[in-house]
Amino acid sequence: MEHPAPRLILASQSPTRARLLASAGLRFETKPARIDEDAVKQAAQAEDASAAEAALLLADMKAQRAGAGDGTALVIGADQILVCDERWFSKSQDGAEARAQLLTLRGRPHELVTAVVCHRDGRRVWHHVATPRLLVRHFSETFLDEYIAAEGDALTDSVGGYRLEGAGIQLFDRVEGDYFSVLGLPLFPLLGFLRQHGALAT
């Protein structure tokens, strides 16, 4: 007797993550989990946690909060931390902050430590961490100002102030690693787990 496929919940307010899952043909609910991410990161750094440990912690917290009281669904939580020269970056609050951040990244490599977890009945049943590496080119400030004006509010939607699937691709000389992980969700490992867990057809 086959068991019914578990319901899926995405514990994220990211439109990009939701779009990736929907484009892959998944049916899911979206339940954003409000977490003070900066406070969690500061506490993690105070305890000498790695960026991967902090990203997993944040993903876990989101999944736990979104799945509270629901023991049957598989809850997907994800988080991403940008690391450049051991400094952790968060999403910018406005265009001016995004501009300063991009100037800091100009001409330098950075990593996007990207964690995804699945929870069921309040506990983690699977996780994966990917670390794509990106090299920002030596762009001019004229280009940067035009880019910021064109992107507008989208600058604050992602850590780093860029969307690789949009005009942000022009900021880079090289990208190493999984494209979907750069967008915030290691899709291939997640789909593999969901197939093994009966949430997708094999």
Distance, C-alpha 64 to centroid of its chain: 17
Is the separation of the CB atoms in 54 and 40 below 8 Å?
yes
Token representation of residue 11:
């514990």
Sign of the CA dihedral running 42, 44, 49, 50? negative
- Residues taking part in catalysis: 79
Say how far apart CA 121 and CA 24 lie, in whole Å: 25
Distance, C-alpha 111 to centroid of its chain: 12
How many residues can be counted in the chain? Answer: 202
